[in-house]
Structure formats: structure tokens, C-alpha cells
Structure 1
Amino acid sequence: MLRPLDAAAIIAYLTAMIAIGIYFSRRNNTTEEYFVGNRSFSGWVIGLSMLGTIVSSATFLALPAAAYVLDWRQLAVNLVLPFVAVLAVLIFIPFFRRGKLTSAFEYLGLRFGAIPRIYGTVSFILLQMIRMAQILFLVSIPIQFLTGVSVEFVVIGAGVFIAFYTIAGGIEAVVWTDVVQALVLMIGCVLCFVYIVMDLPGGVSQILEAGAAENKFSMGSFDWDLNERTFWTVAILGIINWLAIYSGDQNMVQRYLAARSTREARKATIIYSAIALPMWTMFFFIGTALFVYYQSFPDPTLATLETDQILPYFILTRIPAGLAGLIVAAVMAAAMSSLDSGINSISTVVVVDLMRPHLSKKYTDLFYLRSARTIAMIVSVIVVSGGIAFSRIEKESMNDISLIVTSLFGGCLMGLFMMGFFTRRIDGLAATLALIGAVVFNAYLGFGLLGWWPPAWTLGVHSYWIGALVNLFFAVTAYALSWLLGASRRDLTGLTIWTMEKEGDRAEQSVPTSARLASSE
């Protein structure tokens, strides 16, 4: 039942989000403003925006659920984050800051040509919409508990609300709402932990002792077994995941580009990375703490709940009115910050990578601005439909579903960026041929996982390995083809680590992006 103080906290939060969207709607008169906010943001703002974007409701609900039902092995995905962040600060950010790019996939066009650029764009759009549908479903869970209305109705309402301020306010509304949402998210995380500890007779010590006795802090088996979710399986998936996010995820790259300077973009990445890992660890700890809590205070209602509903149930039954509403707002904030970023980033890449390069030059910037808003509306409708579909799928936990989806549909996007950054030999033809082979290989592995092949035709590997194998297949094939077809003859100045100009030479004053892209297509 929705308590008045909880409702007040949620309404206050939602009103603030709408106000931000309306305020910034008046400042979006060009695509440069709508997509990258005139590249004017400071590092701390972008850093918190990154946090809000990447730390979603899948974090707030699914990570505690994963720790509650199993252990901490899925945390291994995030333990590699600091190492990949170093690469981002030293290498990836300077690549994207040069030439005033707007999309991550413009780089693929410059490096390999039109086909890899289109593949990267379409792959990103597909994965992003699946991820957003998952997030929208997760945020509907606590709201359903509060209001008693159907999941479908909640998904539709939340989707329409988020779409409104995102479409109206562009990237500025997205970034500033993300900042607010990141702060609310951190407060909600701390409140959940505090109230669990306060109720337990032994406090933190009881959690540590009972959790250790039940092996709830285990990081998984350290055996090398491709068929199991071992520590190494999950850690390698984490490397693939974070390399893909830091090197080619439009949500992240768009924030590199929206910063006022390379230094501010680097500062943002450091701020985000320094906060995110402790926060993920805290969410796993909350899941273990919930397990210990309900051992001490058994509740028969838990038998009727899905794993992802346990934390919302605790919030709404054990935390005082008002504060519970604030925590529910934090869950909503986690979802909204990921969804608004996804909607804006998809509209950006559709316009920048799929429309502008292939439409007549007669279309004005105003046409593309209006197109971006229309695309955002269409994406919102698709995501709402996907959220309803997710509510009807049986699953161990949504975090498990997320990892499987990433492996199945992630393709070789990370491999494309890595081969672009770190090799000089591979040209557009070698990359395109290897890309075709990798897509076929990805389909073969995916169909095997779904049971569409006879057992004798399948590789006996866990679904988490698919992304790693596909990217490895692409890298090896592309490099081998480069020796058969010859090294790249394209001008690679500033496009690989071996041909990158020193910072301060022409790092952000190089050949205009539009001219370079025109010559690459």
C-alpha cells in the first residue's frame, strides 16, 4: 500500500526530473547542443553522469538478488574495471576527443570504412534496447509493490515519463538528471544497508560470520572449466564487457565528447571508476545481508516472491515511510539515468551514423534535430514493449539474463575497436571479411545455446564465453587476412596508438571529422 510520505518523496523526485527536462528544452536549437551539450561540461558532472548511466536498476535490484541466491562470483565482472579505466584515460579518450567526433562509430568509419561503422551502430542499438527493456522491467517491481497496479501499466507509465524529459531536454537534461539520480542512488544504497544492520542483533559481524558460514562471499571456483560460471569465466567476461563499454559504448563515449576538455574527460572517468566499484561491492554485500536477515527473521512471504523482488519487499515492509519512498526513488533513479542516456545515445547514432552519411546534403540541421526527437519517441515505444516482454520471462535473476544477452548479442564490436586502436596492418576489407565470419560464428554459438543444433554440432562452453570467443575469432581472422591481403593503405594518422599525434600537437585540432569521413566512405 502506498503510504503518504513515500508518495510525497517519489512525487518530489519526479517533479524535479520533469523541471530539469523542461528547463533544458529551451536550449536545444542545434544537434550539437542536443547530442553533446556544446562540449561544455566539467569533469565532476560528467563523472557522476557516467555513474548514473552505467549503475542501473539492474545494479540496485539484480546484484543483491544474485548475492542473495548464490554468492559474489558475479562481482568478478566488475573487479577488472580499474585496469580497463587506465586504458580509457591513457588511450581511448584522446582517440575520441580528436576531430570533434559525436559518435563512437565515426571512428570505425575513419579507421575501417562504412560497413564496420554501420555494423557497430546497429549492434549498439540492438544491445542498448535489450538492456533498456530489462531495466524498465526491473524498476516496475518496487512500484508494483507500492501501488498494486499491473507490471504492464507501470512499465508504460515509467517509459512515457522518461521519454518526455529526455526528448525535450536532450543531453543536457540527461546529464544533469543523471547527476541528481546518482546522488539519490548512493543515498538509497546506504539507507538499505543501514536499516538491515540496525535490525540484526549482531550487526555487521553477524553478516560476516553467517555469510562466511554459508559460503556467500565466494567468488566462485578458480578451476579452469569452460562449462561453469567459474571466477575466470566471469572475469574474462568482465574484461570484454568493460573494454567494450570504455572503448565503444556510445553512452560512455558521448560523455567523453561532452566534456569541455580532454583533461576534464579523464577526470570524469577517474571519478566514475573510483565510485562505481565500491558501490557494486556494497550492493553484493546488501544481498548477503538480506540472506542473513531473513535467516534471523524468517518470512513465509518470501516463498511467493521472485529473487529480484526480495530487496523491494524489504524496503517496503521494514523501512519507515518517507525513507522507503526515497529508496524507491533511488531505484527509479537508477533506471531513469540508464534509460534516458540510452534513448539519447540511440537517437544520436541513428542521426550521425545512419542518416547524415547517406542522405542528401540539402537537409538542414533543424531536420536532423527533429529527426532525433522522433527517433527517441520510436525507441521509447520499442523499449516499453520489451519491458513488458521481460516481465513474462522466467529467469534466475535479471543480472544473469543481462550477462547472457551481452554474450549472445555483443558480437565483435570490442574486437573492432581494439584492432583499430592497436594495429596498423588491418584495413577495411580485412575487417569487413572478418566481421562477416564473426557474425556467422556468433550465430552458430547462439543457436547452439538455444538448442537449435543437434548436441554433436555444438561447442560445450558456457554462454558467458560466447562474447570472448567471437571477439577472439574476429581478431585472429582479421589479422590473418591482413597478411593475405596486405597492410592497410589508408592514412592512419591519429587513428592508432602507433600513429597518434602527441597530445598538444593537433590532438583536438585535426582534420575536420566530416572531411575525413567523406574520404573513408
Structure 2
Amino acid sequence: MKFGAADYAIFVLLLVFSLGIGLYYALSGGKQRTVQEFLLANRSMSFLPVALSLLATFQSAVAILGVPSEIFRFGTEYWFLGCSYFLGLLIPAHVFIPIFYRLRLTSTYEYLELRFNKVVRICGTATFIFQMVVYMGVVLYAPALALNAVTHFDLWVSVLTIGLVCTLYTTLGGLKAVIWTDVFQTFVMFAGQVAVIVVGTIQVGGMQRVWQLAAQHGKVSGIDLDPDPYERHTFWTLAFGGVFMMLSLYGVNQAQVQRYLSSRSERQAVLSCYAVFPCQQIVLCLSCLTGLVMFAYYQQRPLSQEQRSASPDQMVLYFVMDVLQDVPGLPGLFVACLFSGSLSTISSAFNSLATVTMEDLIRPYVGSIPEGRATLYSKLLALGYGLVCLGMAYTSSLMGPVLQAAISIFGMVGGPLLGLFCLGMFFPWANSVGAVAGLVAGLAMAFWVGIGSMVTNLQALPPGNSTPPPLVGNLTTTAVMTTLLTTPQRRTGLQKFYNLSYMWYSAHNSTTVIVVGLLVSLLTGPTRGEDVNPRTIFPVLPWLLCCLPARYQEKLRCGVRSPEEAGSCAEPASLAPEKTSNGQLNGLPEGLPPGGDHPEGEDTGEGVVRADATHTYVLRETAL
């Protein structure tokens, strides 16, 4: 199928409008002249655009292709993933967001230095950079490859166009441009999917007919309560294994946390997390309905030979071209929907990578950097990562079957990072040695299980077939995790271990980090409670066991003072890390955490801020 003039016009309008938003924020307001404006939108965003940006960031083009393909092939069981969204968003709203926001961080990994030390911070930053750099090229190249195979839309023209436009508006407009283009692209994604569902349903004969055909062929799944973690999809796997996947994305991932931190208040940040919940449910429903309509459509119209031999990620595009070919502009709308997913994901990656590189790897180790120069460096970093993305897209084209591994790396790394933050927040006695050892163990476990699963499945291919299964649709709407599918067979020993459902990867790997981290901490000398900054801890055990008498709850705190106790008698009202001009976190006297971002002498309503050469704190009037 060839694109018509209307299709090209809609696709070009998407790019022009996205670039226009970047230019607008480059030339208006503060014109992106400060690091706070460029990286955190001056902490001025309201909850709704932040929520839509959170949604769009990991609603990648690969997920738009993968989820309908999953439903088309295996039925509606994947729909139960929506049950994981409740806890997967409630926990970040009430655990992670308050801690990160009250510390007034720029990079999530600043938390690791406040809780542990600089070594842990660098390890976390390096792991995140590796995760996102590998992922960026794949999320750009994979949908372009599928589009080229089905529509003959030029592969490298689409890759270069999307990559360059995304790089330009991210570099020019900063986080404000990224968030508002995400909002626009979210509506484009909704419009493209709704168009396919509506037109496809009409051609099949109505939604009742769609559901009837799906039920007749066993595609409407019941609730499978099998607790076996080696079963690819069950209710427990999706509803509870999916919680950990959600937490790794919406709880601690820099691309998402940076949006929370751009909110004008903590309440707005929490509201944005709540607002994502219904949006995620709508996105999941649209993707699943697309898969059902596609199945019903091809029950009434046989697949062509070309479609039978196509990879699953291409099936959605074949379906779109079959259904929308007689409606000018709608194929272009779906392509715009597809690449909106890529734009939103990649622009978020550029901005978050520029942030962690600037805040974690440059400012703490370089002399004093003037604000204007620091902003310029941040823009150059965003531009540099844009070029790296194009390079990774080219590398992906040479990887062949290894492309599967590159996509899976995104999910493999998310679990250990979640475990590292949970180790710091929930276990006051964990120390920096345990944190590093736990992270290394978690990453080793993640790659052992993930790569072992791939190798085992490749070895299980039928004799004479050296081609691995195509890129398949084991893709959540918020993450990319690929499992190679082969004919089900009984496995024992390590082979069975490698067959662990991909939905449990995050839970398994984060648990490894916590267990190893706690053991090493106990062996090397646990951290004393009085040495822990109380604002970096979430007292999970006292909270879960709140019915216990007060003396037992006090023991469960492991000697960590409550924030109220820490804030009395000439101690700070705010525990935000105060930075010097080179971005380093100031050291503070023992028992005196970092102060707020107030100029000396400002009355904050809680006392008057005083500062010396290295410390900022609030002197409160306290009745003794």
C-alpha cells in the first residue's frame, strides 16, 4: 500500500507542530536560560499535562504495535495487567513522590548520595544511562522497520526525520516543550487507535459481532489463578508481577520522576500520579480492543500469504492498511499515532539523560559553572544524546537477532534500580557497601535469567530453523520486555528457571538487590539509625504494623528519628539538598540535614533562614 497526499500531510503536520512547540518555549518565558527552567520547567507545571506526559513517556511505538498483536495471538488475558495499575501508581504517589519532592532533587540519583554516598550515586546513574542509551535506538528503529516492511515507507528517512525533529525540540524547548509535545502526541495516539477501532468494528459488523467471534474461538480469557511463576501469563503474574514493573517505571525512573519534580507543588505531583490511572486504563482498553477487532476482521477475511509469514509486530500495520485504505488520511493518522509514541519516549529519554549527566557526572566534579554556561552544557548534552540515538538506531539495524536482547535490557535493568531505591528507603540499617553489592548482584541475576532464557529458547528452535522467532508482543503499555516464544515443553533444572515469566523479572531482580544488600550490610556493619537522614527513609514496618504498641513501633524505626523530631530546636524546616555553585551537595554538621532553597535572611514562615559558607538552615523559635 502506498501513502496518499493526505496521509503525508497529517504525518508532516505532526512533526511541524511538535517542532513548533519546542520553538515556542525556546523564544518565550525565560527562554530556557536557567538549568531549572531547561531541566525542570521551573517547577511550574500543573498535574494534568504532567499526567499525560507520564502516560506518553512509556507508551512507545513498540507497545502500540505489540499489545494488539498479543491479544490477536493469545487472547484477552493480558487485559488483567490493568489490575496492577492501582498499586503500581498508588505506591509512587504516597511513598516515592513525597520523598523525592520534599528533598527538592533534580536528579533521582541525588537521593542515593543523600542516603548512602557518591559511589552508590554514580553506580545508579551509570546503570540508568546504559539502560536508556540502549533503549533509545531500538524504540526509534523497531517501528520504522515494521512500517517499512508493510508500507514501503522509506526506513532511514523516517528514522532520521523523527530523530532530528525530536532532538531539536528537546534541545530548544527543554522539559516544558517535552511535556507539552507529549500532551499533543497523547491525543494523536488516542485518535489513531480510536480511528482503527471504529472503522474496523463497522467493517466487521459491530462490537457485539467482534466479541462473539472472539468468544467462539477461545480468545476471551477467564481468570487463571494458577500461581506458577513459570506460566507466561496468569492473573497473579499480570496483577502482581506487573506492580513491580510499574514501580520501576513510575516510582524511580528518572524520566518519570523528573516530571513529578517539575510540578508546582507536591499536591500537584501526587494528583498527576492519580490522573495517570484512568488514562492508563483507557490506553490498555484501546490497545486490547484493537487486537480483538483485528482478530474478528481476519476471521471474516482470510490472511494473505504475505501476512501469514509476517512477524507479529507487523500484523497491526497490515490490519491498519487493510481497514483504512479507502479512507484518505486515516492511514497517515495511524502512522502519526505510531511515531507519536516514538517521539514522546525518545524526547523524555534525551531530557532525563541530559539531567543525570549534568547533575551527577559533571557538576559535582567540575569547578564552579556559571548558570548560563551550565544551561548551555545541558542543551548540548540533550543534542549529543539525540545524535547517540541515531547512532544506536543504525547499530540496531546491524544487530539482527540481538535486537531482541537490546529491547529486553530495558526491563532487565529496571528491576535492580527499583531494588536499590527500596533498599535505601525501607531499610535504615542498609549501608553503602550493601547497596553497591546488591545492585551488582541484581544486575548479574537480571542478565543471567534474561540472556539464559533467550539462549534456551533459541536452542529449542526446530532443527534446520536458525531464525529466531520474530519480535513479539509481550509488551506492556509502560515497558518493553521481550520473551522469545517457542512451542511449550516441559523443562527441568536451569531450563525451567530460565522460563520464569517476564512479568516477574522486576520483582525477582529487585528482591535480589534487597536480600543481598541487607546481608552484606549486616556483615560489614549496619548503618546506625541516628546517622540516617530521616527524610530519606519511609518507615514501612511501623506503617504496616501500626496496630502495635508505641514502644514496639519505636524499635521498628531502628533508631531513626522522625522528621518532626529532626525538625525541632534549630533544625531545618526543609530537608532539600543545598547545592554549591558547582552542583555539589553541601556537607552539614552531624544531625543537621541540608536546608531549603531560600536566600539568607528570608522569612519562610517557619523561621529565618541563616547561612554560613557551607550550610543553610532555619532557626526556629521553639518554646522550651
TM-score by length of 1: 0.90
Tell me the equivalent position of 1:370: 376
Distance 1:327 1:222 in 2: 36
Which runs of structure 2 are paired with 1:130-141 in the superposition (5 Å)?
A: 130-141=134-145
Are the equivalent residues in 2 in contact too, given 1:220–1:229 (CA < 8 A)?
A: no
Distance 1:219 1:367 in 2: 59
Which moved further from structure 2: 376-385 or 57-66?
Answer: 376-385
Distance 2:585 2:78 in 1: 40
- Give the C-alpha shift of residue 299 in structure 1: 3.5
CA offsets 1:273-303 (integer angstroms, 9 cap, x no match): 2211221122022112101101111241412
Tell me the equivalent position of 1:348: 355
Are the equivalent residues in 1 in contact too, given 2:74–2:219 (CA < 8 A)?
A: yes
- SS of the residue aligned with 1:494? helix
Are the equivalent residues in 2 in contact too, given 1:9–1:325 (CA < 8 A)?
A: yes
- Give the C-alpha shift of residue 208 in structure 1: 1.2
Distance 2:399 2:436 in 1: 35
Count residues with an aligned counterpart. Answer: 513
Tell me the equivalent position of 1:512: 577
- Give the C-alpha shift of residue 342 in structure 1: 0.8
Distance 1:329 1:450 in 2: 33
Change (3 A) 1:77 1:112: farther
- SS of the residue aligned with 1:470? helix
Tell me the equivalent position of 2:75: 71
Counterpart pick for 2:148 among 144, 148, 156: 144
Tell me the equivalent position of 1:485: 524
Tell me the equivalent position of 2:164: 160
Which runs of structure 2 are paired with 1:23-38 in the superposition (5 Å)?
A: 23-26=24-27, 27-38=31-42
Q: 5+ residue gaps in structure 1?
A: none
Tell me the equivalent position of 1:205: 208
Which runs of structure 2 are paired with 1:384-423 in the superposition (5 Å)?
A: 384-391=390-397, 404-410=408-414, 412-423=416-427
Tell me the equivalent position of 2:295: 291
Tell me the equivalent position of 2:563: 501
Are the equivalent residues in 2 in contact too, given 1:152–1:388 (CA < 8 A)?
A: no
- Give the C-alpha shift of residue 477 in structure 1: 1.9
- Give the C-alpha shift of residue 127 in structure 1: 1.9
Is 1:426 matched up with 2:433?
no
- SS of the residue aligned with 1:100? coil
- Give the C-alpha shift of residue 193 in structure 1: 0.9
Which runs of structure 2 are paired with 1:201-240 in the superposition (5 Å)?
A: 201=205, 203-218=206-221, 222-231=225-234, 232-240=236-244
Which moved further from structure 2: 441-450 or 365-374?
Answer: 441-450
Distance 1:508 1:188 in 2: 49
Change (3 A) 1:289 1:141: farther
CA offsets 1:312-333 (integer angstroms, 9 cap, x no match): 2232342211233222212221
Counterpart pick for 2:281 among 260, 277, 294: 277
- Give the C-alpha shift of residue 425 in structure 1: 1.2
Distance 2:446 2:4 in 1: 49
Are the equivalent residues in 2 in contact too, given 1:151–1:388 (CA < 8 A)?
A: no
- Give the C-alpha shift of residue 143 in structure 1: 5.2
Change (3 A) 1:55 1:149: closer
CA offsets 1:480-517 (integer angstroms, 9 cap, x no match): 23333343243322111235637xx8998324343783
Distance 1:447 1:145 in 2: 28
Change (3 A) 1:219 1:177: farther
Max Rg structure: 2
Distance 1:19 1:508 in 2: 42
- Give the C-alpha shift of residue 211 in structure 1: 1.3
Tell me the equivalent position of 2:185: 181
Distance 2:22 2:309 in 1: 39
Are the equivalent residues in 2 in contact too, given 1:63–1:284 (CA < 8 A)?
A: yes
CA offsets 1:23-48 (integer angstroms, 9 cap, x no match): 11231111111100100011111111
Are the equivalent residues in 2 in contact too, given 1:184–1:329 (CA < 8 A)?
A: yes
Change (3 A) 1:514 1:67: same
Tell me the equivalent position of 1:127: 131
- Give the C-alpha shift of residue 105 in structure 1: 1.0
Which runs of structure 2 are paired with 1:93-132 in the superposition (5 Å)?
A: 93-132=97-136
Tell me the equivalent position of 2:610: none
CA offsets 1:232-258 (integer angstroms, 9 cap, x no match): 444454222111112210111001100
Are the equivalent residues in 1 in contact too, given 2:86–2:277 (CA < 8 A)?
A: yes
Structure having greater relative contact order (Cα 8 Å, sep ≥ 6): 1
How many percent identity over aligned positions?
26
Are the equivalent residues in 1 in contact too, given 2:6–2:328 (CA < 8 A)?
A: yes
Distance 1:117 1:355 in 2: 13
CA offsets 1:398-423 (integer angstroms, 9 cap, x no match): 9x878743443335111111122212
- Give the C-alpha shift of residue 190 in structure 1: 1.3
Structure that is richer in helix per residue: 1
- Give the C-alpha shift of residue 178 in structure 1: 0.7
Are the equivalent residues in 2 in contact too, given 1:10–1:325 (CA < 8 A)?
A: yes
Letter in 2 for 1:494: R
Distance 1:58 1:279 in 2: 14
- Give the C-alpha shift of residue 373 in structure 1: 2.4
- SS of the residue aligned with 2:226? coil
Counterpart pick for 2:499 among 442, 447, 462: 462
TM-score by length of 2: 0.76
- SS of the residue aligned with 1:519? coil
Are the equivalent residues in 2 in contact too, given 1:145–1:313 (CA < 8 A)?
A: no
Distance 2:87 2:209 in 1: 33
Counterpart pick for 1:309 among 308, 314, 321: 314
Counterpart pick for 2:64 among 47, 60, 67: 60
Are the equivalent residues in 2 in contact too, given 1:76–1:238 (CA < 8 A)?
A: no
Distance 2:307 2:394 in 1: 23
Change (3 A) 1:379 1:173: same
Which moved further from structure 2: 435-444 or 174-183?
Answer: 435-444
- SS of the residue aligned with 1:104? coil
- Give the C-alpha shift of residue 219 in structure 1: 6.8
Which moved further from structure 2: 34-43 or 214-223?
Answer: 214-223
Is 1:332 matched up with 2:339?
yes
- Give the C-alpha shift of residue 206 in structure 1: 1.7
RMSD: 2.9
Tell me the equivalent position of 2:605: none
Distance 1:500 1:280 in 2: 40
